[in-house]
Structure 1
Amino acid sequence: MRRTDLFEVTMKGWARLNPQQRERFFQAGLRAALRLERQEFREWLRRRVGEPPLAAPVDASCFAISKTDIALLMRSAREAPLK
């Protein structure tokens, strides 16, 4: 992930936080920045943007399977030759 991408993802996650979460994340980031080297801090931040609350919410509807899809899947399973 490029630096600008990490910055953009972090800022998008930051916008989703409420003021209390922002303060907690800021304090955690400050402590991490003081104890870690530059590359280690970047890795720390990269891990944090992939986890809640910074991570984007998952849209469960994108995982939904329609009745038609299930019917096609079951039909293809019945028609598959047995080995």
Structure 2
Amino acid sequence: MPRDLFEATMRGWARLNPSQRERFFQAGLRAALRLERQQFREMAHAAAHRAPLAAPVDPNSFAISKYDIAVLMRSARETPGKSSPKRNSENQKC
């Protein structure tokens, strides 16, 4: 059982960023000082078996490049039903 608690804690710890790790450590330290040994172990065991925190989201995965913005702006300027001259020139056969 102690091995399972350790592995679960390490898996959860790996998902945290440094500020979350610091908050987690401070909360654990406060609980350790407040609770008796057995109560702390039970609390830690229950916390390790709760649903994990969501994986961190990389904001760069939602970033829009300058090219994407240019395409969006160009498509917003076009009137429906008409295609841009660039698209027409690409579709023409030589």
Query: What TM-score does the superposition give when structure 2 sets the normalisation length?
Result: 0.51
Distance in 1 (alpha carbons) for counterparts of 2:27 and 2:6? 17
Distance in 2 (alpha carbons) for counterparts of 1:30 and 1:51? 21
Amino acid at match of 1:31: R
Percent of aligned positions that are identical? 69
Q: Which moved more, 1:38-47 or 1:24-33?
A: 38-47
Distance in 2 (alpha carbons) for counterparts of 1:32 and 1:15? 21
2:68 maps to 1:32: no
Conservation of the 8 A alpha-carbon contact between 2:5 and 2:45: yes
Q: Which residue of 2 aligns with 1:10?
A: 9
**Following superposition, which runs of at least 4 residues in structure 1 exceed 3 angstroms of deviation?**
none
Distance in 1 (alpha carbons) for counterparts of 2:44 and 2:33? 13
Aligned-residue Cα RMSD (Å) equals 1.7
Q: In the comparison of the two structures, how many residue pairs are matched?
A: 54
Amino acid at match of 2:5: L
Q: Name stretches of at least 5 consecutive residues in structure 1 with no aligned partner.
A: 58-83
- Aligned with 2:27: secondary structure? helix
* Cα shift at 1:31: 0.2
Q: Name stretches of at least 5 consecutive residues in structure 2 with no aligned partner.
A: 56-94
Query: What TM-score does the superposition give when structure 1 sets the normalisation length?
Result: 0.58
* Cα shift at 1:17: 0.6
- Residues 4 and 34 (structure 1), Cα distance of their counterparts in 2 relative to 1, 3 Å cut: same
